[in-house]
Amino acid sequence: MRPTIRDVAREAGVSLATVDRVLNHRTGVRAATIRRVEDAVSRLGFVRDTAAANLSRRRDYRFVFLIPEGSNSFMRELEAQVVAMGARLRAARVAVEVIAIPPFDGDALAAALDRIDPREVSGIALVATEAPSVRDALVRLAGFGIPVVTLVSDAPLFPRSRYIGIDNVAAGRTAASLLGRFLGPREGRIALVAGSMLLRDHMERRMGFEQVMRAEYPRLTPLPVVEGRDDAETTRHALATLLAAEPGVIGLYNIGAGNRGVIEILRAAPPASRPVAVVHELTPHTRAALREGLAHAIIHQDAGHEARSALRVLRACADGAPVLEARERIRVEIYLRDNLP
C-alpha cells in the first residue's frame, strides 16, 4: 500500500497540517520538526499524489494560443492540434482558447496580447512577430508573471519563458546538405523562395543554408531570395518570374510556406529540366509532390508535438515544476519517399 500523508504524520508524530507545511515548504515549522517529517518521508518512500493535491487546491488552468490565420497549411494543422489537445485536457481541468491573428502583422498581435486579462490566464503561447509593439505587450504580461512561450518562430530578445520549435539554422543547413548530396557533382544555380525575409525563422533557415553551401558546395550558387508571403499564388508568380529570368537552376529550396505555388511550377516544368527540390512542412500537398517525385525531400516539424509541448511547458511554468528537456526538443525531421509517416 502506497504511503499517504497520514502515514507520514503518524511516523513523524505530527499532524497532517504539519506534514503539509513541510511538504509545501511553508514557513512556521521548527527546524527539528521539519527534519522529523523529512526523515519519515524518506523512510516511507512517500510521494505526494499530485492529482489529489490539485483537486484539493481547486487548481485549474486557462491557456491562450495566438495563431496566425489564413491558408498556411502548417498553421491550420497547428491550430487543429491545439484544439484537439485542449478538448482532451478538459477532463484534467485545463481550458484552451485559440485566438486567430492576421499574419505578418505585429500590431494586430500586440493588440490581441493587450486584450488579455492577466488575472484570467495561466499561460500564453504565440507565434511571435518581432515588432516593438509585441515586445511591449510581452513586457506587460511578464510584469504579471504570466508564462509565455513562443511557437514555431522565436523572438529571443523579448521576454518569454521558452521557444518551442525547431532550430531553423539547422533546418537550413539540412536543406543545403540534402541538395548538395542529391545533386552530386552537378554545377549550377539554386532558387530560394521564402515567405518574408523579415520573419526570423525564414531568415535563420536561409543563413544555415548559405553556411553549408559556401563551405561545402561551392559549385552550387544560391540566387537571391524571392518572397511569396507564404501564399500559394504570390509564391507561384514570384518563382515563375525568377525561373524565366534565370536559366540553369538545378536546385530549389522553399524556405517558407506557399508550397502549392512551388509545386505547380515544378509540375509545369519539363521533367528533364526540373530542379531537385527541398521544401518545408509535410502537408497533403507536399506529401503528394514527394510521392510524384516533384519534391525530393521534406523538412518537417511536428505540429502535434509542438502543441502538446507548449501545453506541457506552460503547465510546468505555471506550477513551477521542472521541464523534461529531451521531451520538449522539437526535431528537424527529414522525410523522403520511403519514411513518410
Partner DNA sequence: GTGAAAGCGCTAACAT
Partner DNA sequence: ATGTTAGCGCTTTCAC
Contact residues for DNA (CB under 7 A)? 2, 4-6, 13-18, 20-21, 23-24, 28-30, 32-33, 46, 48-49, 52-53, 55-58
DSSP 91: G
Q: Answer with the entry of DNA, a second copy, none that 182 interacts with (C-beta below 5 to 8 A by kind).
A: a second copy
Task: Pick the closer one to a second copy by CB: 62 or 237.
Answer: 62
DSSP 160-209: -SEEES--HHHHHHHHHHHHHHHHTT--EEEEEEES-TTSHHHHHHHHHH
Q: How many residues does the chain have?
A: 341
Q: Report the distance separating Cα 282 and Cα 299, nearest Å.
A: 7
Residue 341 interacts, among a second copy, DNA, none and using kind-specific CB cut-offs from 5 to 8 Å, with: a second copy
Which residue's CB is nearer to DNA, number 18 or number 235?
A: 18
Helix (H) or strand (E) holding 135: helix 132-143
Identify what 139 binds: DNA, a second copy, none; CB under 5 to 8 Å per kind.
Answer: none
Task: Please report, as residue ranges, which positions from 186 to 225 form the binding site for a second copy (by CB under 8 A).
Answer: 208, 212
Q: Which of 171, 149, 173 shows the shortest CA–CA distance to 162?
A: 149
Binds 4: which of a second copy, DNA, none (CB < 5-8 Å by kind): DNA
- Among candidate residues 220, 168, 158, the one with its CA nearest the CA of residue 194: 168
Task: Please identify, using beta-carbon distances, which residue of 14 and 263 lies nearer to DNA.
Answer: 14
- Using CB under 8 A as the binding rule, whether residue 55 contacts a second copy is answered as yes
Nearer to DNA, 23 or 142 (CB): 23
Residue 30 binding target from DNA, a second copy, none, CB below 5 to 8 Å by type: DNA
Residue type, 156: P
Among 105, 106, 120, 110, residue whose Cα is nearest residue 64: 120
For residue 92, the partner it binds in DNA, a second copy, none, with Cβ less than 5 to 8 A by kind, is a second copy
The three-state secondary structure class of 291 is: helix
Binding to a second copy by residue 337, rule CB under 8 A? yes
Quick note: the x/- pattern for a second copy over 275-294, rule CB under 8 A, is --------------------
Going from the C-alpha of 82 to that of each of 99, 152, 276, 284, 313, the distances in angstroms are 11, 13, 34, 19, 14
The residue (of 106 and 172) whose beta carbon lies closer to a second copy is 172
- Amino acid letter, 141: L
15 binds, among a second copy, DNA, none (CB under 5 to 8 A by kind): DNA
For position 272 contacting a second copy by CB under 8 A, the verdict is: no
**Residues 86 to 145: which contact a second copy by CB under 8 A?**
88, 90-93
Q: Which of 170, 198, 223, 240 binds a second copy (CB under 8 A)?
A: 170
Helix axis angle, 5-12 to 31-44, nearest 10°: 120
Give 38-45 contacts, CB < 8 A, sequence gap 24+. Answer: 39/12, 40/8, 40/11, 40/12, 41/8, 43/11, 44/3, 44/7, 44/8, 44/11, 45/3
- Cα torsion 293, 294, 300, 303 to 10°: value is -100
14 binds, among a second copy, DNA, none (CB under 5 to 8 A by kind): DNA
**Amino acid at position 74, single letter:** F
**Minimum distance between the CB of residue 144 and DNA, rounded to whole angstroms?**
20
Residues in the site for a second copy, rule: CB under 8 A? 2, 47-52, 54-55, 60, 88, 90-93, 170-171, 173-174, 176-178, 181-182, 184-185, 208, 212, 304, 308, 324, 326-327, 329, 331-341
